Structures are given as C-alpha cells and as structure tokens.
Structure 1
Amino acid sequence: MKVVVQVKLLPSQQQAAALEATLRACNRAAGHASRVAYESGTRDRNGLQKLVYAEIKTMFGLSAQPAVRVVKKVVDAYSGLAASMKAGRLGRPSSKRYRRAVGSPIGFRPDAAQPFDDRCLSWQTDARTVSVWTVEGRMRGLRFTGSPDQLKMLAEHRKGESDLVRRAGKWFLIATCEIPDVEVYEPADFIGVDRGIVNLATTSDGINYQGRRLERYRRWQARKRAELQAKGTRSATRRLARRTQREHRHATQVNHRISKEIVSIAQRTGRGIAVEELGGIRERVRLRRDQRGALSSWPFHQLGQHLAYKARRAGVPFVEVDPAYTSQRCPRCGHTEKANRPTRDHFRCCRCGLAGPADHVAGVNVRNRARSAWVFVTAPVPAPT
C-alpha cells in the first residue's frame, strides 16, 4: 500500500530563496502550459509536451527533467478536472461553478507544490539531507527532519515522486512510500462501528466517541467565519482561509485518534472492523435547512478512510455492510420498525422489549451483518461441473 511521509526542510536563508525562485518558475511554466493546453484542446502528455517543452525550457529557465514534470502536473490537473465533471462534483453544466471551472485555463498559485522525481531530487537518509534541482543549480546538503517513525519509513520504503511544498513560510517534502501489505488474519469476530454526528463513532462493545466537543468547536468556528465574511476585506479573506485549514486539521486529528484506538482494540482481540457503507448519503437524504451545514461538515467519510487504511496496515479485516435500517432493527428478534427508535438516542423494540442506546444497537447490527458478509466473502467458490 502507498503511504505519504511529510518531512520538514531546514534551509538556510540563501537556500530558501533558491527554493522559492524554483517554485515560482515552475508554476509560471505550468500556467503557460495550461493556457496552451486550454487553447489547443491538447490533454495528453505526449501531445502537450511537443507543444510546450522547448518554450518552457527557454522562457522559464527550467532544465529538461523539471520541464517534463511541469507538463505532467498540468496534464494531471486537467485529468482531475475531467474526473470532477464526470462525477458531478462541479454541479450541472448550467451552474455558475461549472462554467467558471471550464471557462478558463487552470491556474497555478506561485507557491503551489511541485513534484520532483529521482532525477531532480535525491535523498541521503543516513545524513538526513537531500540534493534538489533549483533554477540556481543543484542544491546539495539541504537538511530535513521528522519523527523517528517517519525517517525509518522513508529510509526503508520510499519510492516514486516527492513534492516540494511551502506552507505558512515553512518548507516541506512529501514523499511516497510503498509498504508491503500485511497478511489479513481470520477474525474471531467483528467490531461494529456506527458513525454519527452527535456521537462520532459508537462500537458494538459499547464504547462511545462523543462529538460534542468537536461540534461546539465547529459552531464557534462558524460564528467566527460569519464575522470575517461580513467584513469582506482582503485581510479577512486571508484569515478566513487560515481558520478553515485549522478547523480541517482539528477534525482530522480527532478522526486519527478514534480510528487508531479502534484498530488497536481489534488487533489486540483478534477481531475485524465493520462499518456502514455510507457513500452518497448527501444525495440520498433530505434534510431541513438548519441540518445541512452539520451534515456537509461531518467528516464521516474521512473516519471511514482512516479506519480502512489503518486496518490494512495492521492486517485487520475490514468490511463495509449495508446501512439500511441498522438503527431500527432489533438485534435479538429481528423486528424492524421506525417506532423502535422513539428518540434519537434511545432504542426499544416494540416486539420483544429490548432497549438500549440507539447508536450501540446500530453498532451491534453492523457487527452481525459483518459476520454474514465475511462468511460470504471467504466461502470457497464451487468447482464447475
């Protein structure tokens, strides 16, 4: 499996100036290639490279291999735009957002990330330095630092491109590592995980990861965003972007902590992890206006992703099950009725009287469905007669 490792660069003032000049030159070249691609309709890598390769080398001072990486970055950007259009993430063709996206060439910020391959950037992991191409020549002995786990993974599994990133005045390298897949063991049982807004995750063991603190934090951030949006100044816009990034990092950290703990429990007890398959929930569910913001900012998909990749790294079985009626079905007698859940927090079966927290009951139902799904997945295929 592929994992990205981020390390922090420690450049001198002169080295930082060379890195900044390199990013700006590469992104100016990418902007030029993007305009050529838009005007000519060329979207394939070989075709675009024939059109702009010589120009971006002479006009922007790039060497051969960085020029090739710039062309690849532009082609990937248009491929991503085409995928977003096909998936409907830009809305209908008549929408303002769709027309703005397709009505002009893709732009690149002056400090946008730039990918480098092993011809442009080489790692000396023992010395904790890198050698990187810049517009001022090859820069050697550029120091970097990271956590012990990151440095070990970098030394053992790094493969492929590395992205040069500048964020808030600091420099980073983001490297791709390919880790061998761990063999998945046969689970003794499953931990069912029910995801929600009030309770971010509730397991079939009865462990509840409440989201009240995160929800309060998000409401506070929403009020601050509204105040900044009302001002409408350039400074307010910059602060608004920083607040959005800070909120996203906070929610990501919460999901990392929850998923790490659930995977650790599953690995220690020899069980697998089961979650509901919630893809497309925003399109399937009709909400009141005051509920839309909460659902749109609810990081349930990210929590599922964290659980999936952490389970894969640990060799823990992971399955997604049908989410239909998991909060309305009685796990003891199987009776399914909307009245089984009189309130959001409580469950009481109208047939057998089983009662308990609604999210816990949903987690038990997810676990029970995972047992059946795992048997079906691992059942041997009968030989043809």
Structure 2
Amino acid sequence: MAQMSIMAKIQVVASDEDKTLLDETMSVYREACNYVSDYVFRTHDLKQFSLNKALYPTLRAEFGLKSQMTQSVFKTVIARYKTILENQKEWIKPSFKKPQYDLVWNRDYSLTQDHFSINTLGGRVKLPYFAEGMSQYFDRSIYRFGTAKLVNKHGKYFLYIPVTYDVEESDLSDICNVVGIDRGINFVAATYDSKHKSGFVRGRSIKQKRAHYSALRKELQMRHTPSSRRRLKRIGQRENRWMQDVNHCVSKALVVNNPAHTLFVLEDLSGIRHAPERVKTKHRYVSASWAFYDLEQKLIYKAKQNQSSVIKVDPRYTSQCCPVCGHTEKANRNKKIHLFTCKNCGYKSNDDRIGAMNLYRMGINYLYDSQVPDTVAAE
C-alpha cells in the first residue's frame, strides 16, 4: 500500500462579526510567527522544546494566544525554516506577510458535512461552508485530515486541507498497457501506447497565450509605478492558475483515456532550467518557464489514483534514435520542420511522435528488466 495526499479546498461562509474575529485571530497569529521567526534567526534554535521554554509565556501573555495556537506557531515557523535550509542551505529569515492560521485537526478545527468549527481568540465558532465535492472525504475509515491552513483572499476565506488515504501500489506483473509521453512546447504531450496508437495535445494556443503574458509583463516592468507592480503580481497569479488548469486537464485526460495498471514513461527533464545555452535566446523564456514539472506531478498522483505508475528515463537520443532500425544520429531530426527521417532505413515521422515511440520502447524494456533504462538503445 502507498499513501496518497491531495489538497482539498473549501470556501468558508462568515458573517461580518465572524470575519472580524477571524481577521483578528489570523493577524495575531501572523505577528506571533514573525516574533518567533526573529528569535530563531538570532539563535538558530529550531527545537520546539527549547522554544517553548523561552517564548511560551510571552506568546500567551503579550499576544493572547491559547495554548494550542502557541504550539501551532512554533511548528509553522520551524517548518518554514527547515524548508529554507533544505532548499537554500543557509539561514534566511522568513517573513510572514499575509494573515494566516495553521490549524491542527481535532484541536484547532473540525469539519462535518454541516459546518466548519474553528478555535479563535474569542472562543470556538461554527461556520457554514460550500461543501460541494467534500462529501466523499468524510469516510473516516479511508480518508484522514491533516493540519489545514486558513487564508483570506480578497475578503473571502478559504480552508486548505491535506487529505491522506491509502492506495494499492501497481505491481509490474499487473501492467497491461505502456504509454510513452514526449512533453514539448509545440505539442504539450505526444503519446504512443501498447496499441501502437499515437496522440497529440497541441500547444500552439498555449504558446501564444504565454507570449501574450510575457509581452504584457515586459510592458508593465518598464513603467516602474505602484499600479504596474500590482498588476504584474495579478497577471503572474492569473497565468499560474491558468497553466495549472491546463496541466490538470491534460494529465486527467491521459489517465482517464488509459486503463488501470498503465505504465506512463516520461523523460527526466529535471535539468531543463539549468541548460538555457542549448536553446536559442529568443526561445529561452518559453523553454525555462514551461510547466513541465507541474504536469509531471499531476500525472504522478492521478496515475496512482488509477493504480497506474509513472517512471522517468534519461532523455538522451529519444528524438534522434530510429524506433524501427535503432540507428541514432543527430541529423535524423530536422527541428525546424519537426520531421524525423532515419538516415539508415528512411523511416519518417513527426519528431515528437518519435520521442514518444522511443519512450514507449524504454517502458517495455523496463518491464522485462525491472530496471529503468539509462538511455534509449542505440545502434
């Protein structure tokens, strides 16, 4: 069995009186986080026990936090510092700018199909919420709620709840279908499967919209005004939401259109952001900002939900190797017209389709050898 976690999002309905109480609680919680963050930055102390000893009385007396809220503040700050240290490898003080509140399940909050109960500075309050899509998660024998986060976005209150559950892992002996997926810009995804069928998700409209956002950002950056900076931020958030929705739809279609126990084979593109010199200057923005990783992550968790698997393989030569005769040569591929022509046997096809076919073959080899291939087999 493997554990799966998804993030459920609900909108909380609050009266004017409740909004005042929530805003006050979230604001004080943020101020307490910044207070603890400053102390940790000076002392480099990330042990909750010693932080409790040094700061607990102050947080209770000066900030008015309740006992459980105080513990949540410590955990929030410690988690933020550990993330920074893991990613940046240095002590950088995080600043908590937006009002927030991290809620421990069954202590700071609880959730039923009728209401959302939350612990505030003014006591416990019960609030209604939009419950669409949440009913499936109330089977306590299957789903478990974790530490949630309450945020205020433009006057609306949203609760983000991590939901964990167990899924059966797909065994290699259960695999009944292999799909090679070549990700790119002209085609978001080109696929080739065990039925020897090819599929394409066109990326031209996405590329054009990204170019529009890029030009708009460039124009706003030249203005250097407060309003242009605010608009830049809104545009970035809007583009990010739109691109995530595109990747959600693409990954969902890939999983839904294939049976359970499918093996999806992707190129390992983890180093693509660090190789801009391989791309022409005018194309570097598109190449570096394309949301390959987001699509990959969405496909991985959706595949697990469908008892399917995803493996990543070395991308070298996947668009240069002939899937018919195995001849590998850089000249086989004409990038300008997206055409692959084997210099040995003359086989012709779209270069993205060739990539998907080679990835499919690497998936077949993986099933035989139980080992991820280092690279596509060359002549």
Query: Structure 1 length as normaliser, TM-score?
Result: 0.89
Counterpart for residue 168 of structure 2: 182
Render the CA deviation track for 1:213-259: whole Å, top value 9, x for unaligned: 11111111112212222222222222211110100010001111111
Residue range with higher mean Cα deviation, 217-226 or 242-251:
217-226
Query: Conserved in 1, the CA contact under 8 Å of 2:30 and 2:99?
Result: yes
Secondary structure (helix, strand or coil) at the match of 1:291 reads: helix
Consecutive unaligned residues of structure 2, counting only runs of 5 or more, are 373-379
TM superposition shift of 1:314: 0.7
Counterpart for residue 190 of structure 2: 202
Alignment of structure 1 residues 1-385 onto 2, 5 Å? 1-86=4-89, 102=92, 105-125=93-113, 127=114, 129-140=115-126, 142-148=127-133, 150-156=134-140, 157-184=143-170, 186-204=174-192, 205-267=197-259, 271-284=262-275, 286=277, 287-344=279-336, 345-377=338-370
Residue range with higher mean Cα deviation, 205-214 or 59-68:
205-214
Render the CA deviation track for 1:142-180: whole Å, top value 9, x for unaligned: 0111433x3312554132211111122211111121121
CA distance in 2, matches of 1:263, 1:244: 29
Query: Conserved in 1, the CA contact under 8 Å of 2:177 and 2:259?
Result: no
Render the CA deviation track for 1:322-368: whole Å, top value 9, x for unaligned: 21100000001000000100234110000001101000111000000
CA distance in 2, matches of 1:370, 1:314: 18
Query: Conserved in 2, the CA contact under 8 Å of 1:33 and 1:71?
Result: yes
Structure with greater helix percent: 1
Query: Conserved in 2, the CA contact under 8 Å of 1:23 and 1:111?
Result: yes
Query: Conserved in 1, the CA contact under 8 Å of 2:272 and 2:288?
Result: no
Query: Conserved in 1, the CA contact under 8 Å of 2:112 and 2:138?
Result: no
CA distance in 2, matches of 1:234, 1:113: 29
Counterpart for residue 92 of structure 1: none
Residue range with higher mean Cα deviation, 157-166 or 243-252:
157-166
CA distance in 1, matches of 2:241, 2:349: 34
Render the CA deviation track for 1:304-325: whole Å, top value 9, x for unaligned: 1111110001101322222110
Query: Conserved in 2, the CA contact under 8 Å of 1:28 and 1:110?
Result: no
Consecutive unaligned residues of structure 1, counting only runs of 5 or more, are 87-97, 380-385
Partner AA of 2:340 in structure 1: F
TM superposition shift of 1:284: 4.1
Partner AA of 1:197 in structure 2: I
What is the identity percentage for the equivalent residue pairs of Structure 1 and Structure 2? 29
Render the CA deviation track for 1:68-123: whole Å, top value 9, x for unaligned: 0001101111101101113xxxxxxxxxxx8xx73xx3210142453433211111
Partner AA of 2:128 in structure 1: R
Residue range with higher mean Cα deviation, 338-347 or 113-122:
113-122
CA distance in 2, matches of 1:214, 1:122: 41
Query: Conserved in 2, the CA contact under 8 Å of 1:320 and 1:370?
Result: no
Query: Would the alpha carbon gap of residues 112 and 289 (structure 1) be closer, same or farther in structure 2, given more than 3 Å must change?
Result: farther
CA distance in 1, matches of 2:317, 2:40: 49
Query: Conserved in 2, the CA contact under 8 Å of 1:8 and 1:171?
Result: yes
Query: Conserved in 2, the CA contact under 8 Å of 1:201 and 1:209?
Result: yes
TM superposition shift of 1:40: 1.5
Query: Conserved in 2, the CA contact under 8 Å of 1:116 and 1:164?
Result: no
Render the CA deviation track for 1:262-302: whole Å, top value 9, x for unaligned: 1112226x632111111122224523332221122100111
Query: Would the alpha carbon gap of residues 19 and 315 (structure 1) be closer, same or farther in structure 2, given more than 3 Å must change?
Result: same
Query: Conserved in 2, the CA contact under 8 Å of 1:5 and 1:154?
Result: no
CA distance in 1, matches of 2:65, 2:139: 29
CA distance in 2, matches of 1:36, 1:251: 38
Partner AA of 1:261 in structure 2: A
CA distance in 1, matches of 2:105, 2:225: 40
Query: Would the alpha carbon gap of residues 238 and 285 (structure 1) be closer, same or farther in structure 2, given more than 3 Å must change?
Result: closer
Q: Number of aligned residue pairs: give it.
A: 359
Query: Conserved in 2, the CA contact under 8 Å of 1:2 and 1:178?
Result: yes
CA distance in 2, matches of 1:338, 1:218: 30
TM superposition shift of 1:184: 1.8
CA distance in 1, matches of 2:234, 2:138: 29
Residue range with higher mean Cα deviation, 319-328 or 115-124:
115-124
